[in-house]
Amino acid sequence: MFGIFDGIQKSVENVVDVGIGAVSFGVYGDFSKSTVSKMIADGIEIAIIAKTFGVAEETIQELIKGK
């Protein structure tokens, strides 16, 4: 309405984009270092991301570190 939920909407769009990217192995969404880092910056913890996408927490941490 007044832009109050713009940040939340962008965060949710990023989560959906990363989710689609993880499921489709990057064909349709964006499962990259920058999008996962943005999810963490938006307050979504590594453990939740790992559990949601069925990967080890170390995998997410390595993605962020760029290994």
For every one of its 67 residues, what pLDDT tens digit does the chain have, with 9 covering 90 and above?
456 567 667 777 877 888 888 878 778 888 888 888 787 777 677 777 788 878 888 887 787 777 5
- Classify residue 30: in a domain, yes or no: yes
- Rounded Cα distance between 19 and 36, Å, is 10
Helix 33-41 / helix 46-53 crossing angle, nearest 10 deg: 130
- Rounded Cα distance between 39 and 61, Å, is 13
Task: Give the per-residue pLDDT at 29.
Answer: 83
CA 37 to chain centre: 7
Task: Give the per-residue pLDDT at 3.
Answer: 61
What domain range is 48 assigned to?
6-65
Tell me, what amino acid is at 4? Answer: I
- Classify residue 28: in a domain, yes or no: yes
Task: Give the per-residue pLDDT at 21.
Answer: 81
- Domain total for the chain? 1
- Classify residue 1: in a domain, yes or no: no
Other CB atoms within 10 A of residue 43 CB: 8
Task: Give the per-residue pLDDT at 4.
Answer: 58
- Classify residue 25: in a domain, yes or no: yes
